[in-house]
Chain A
Amino acid sequence: SAVISQKPSRDICQRGTSLTIQCQVDSQVTMMFWYRQQPGQSLTLIATANQGSEATYESGFVIDKFPISRPNLTFSTLTVSNMSPEDSSIYLCSTGQGTDTQYFGPGTRLTVL
């Protein structure tokens, strides 16, 4: 299984600002995924990040709000832009190393005031 780390682990931000979340995997992987978990809710996929191509966004999520970078096979970032209190969530990255079993990072707990 992959070992995944995320930074920051938590943050409190003011509305209108942006936060970039980093995700690091201990091995090279083709696909990385970003999920959102709103308070008391389940996980929803935001986008799929492939190295060397544009991220693929799920319905309801747009690049201007959640730009993603994937500069190499072990790293990805998700930016939450122009934040509002509704963006307060846990953001998790995951990878499956080419299988359908996903391994998740510890998550980034974001609170927007």
Chain B
Amino acid sequence: GNSVTQMEGPVTLSEEAFLTINCTYTATGYPSLFWYVQYPGEGLQLLLKATKADDKGSNKGFEATYRKETTSFHLEKGSVQVSDSAVYFCALSDIGKNQGGKLIFGQGTELSVKP
């Protein structure tokens, strides 16, 4: 079945450091790919998405490119801030089920940015 694998956390960085959180997926067909962020004590917010191969999603300085050849959707940011401290989830849409809407999530990666 479809699945998502993320790099394990926690990831601890200093402010202004470069961030990469790896995400790889297994899927049949051509799912959409997402990054969601969960700030402490809050629900999930959509950070960015990509719907087809070679698409790049971007938001708030974060970027991720849909790489079909490597089945990856790595999240990057050039210079992290303390306010980026959160848990980041990679997810894919389970195409063909429920006409969309079912998301399969990775295990989440906790990011802690120190001043």
Contact = CB atoms under 8 A, between A and B. Distances in A.
A102 B107 contact: no
B43 A104 contact: yes
Contacts of B31: 100
Interface residues of B, number: 23
A101 to B, nearest CB: 6
B55 to A, nearest CB: 13
Interface in A63-109: 92, 94-96, 98-107
Given A42-B108, A43-B89, A107 B102 contact: no
Contacts of A18: none
A96 B42 contact: no
B43 A105 contact: yes
A101 B34 contact: yes
B49 interface: yes
Contact of B106 (A42, A92, A100): A42
16 contacts: A1-B46, A31-B99, A31-B101, A42-B89, A42-B108, A44-B105, A45-B102, A48-B98, A48-B102, A100-B32, A100-B95, A100-B101, A102-B46, A103-B46, A106-B42, A107-B44
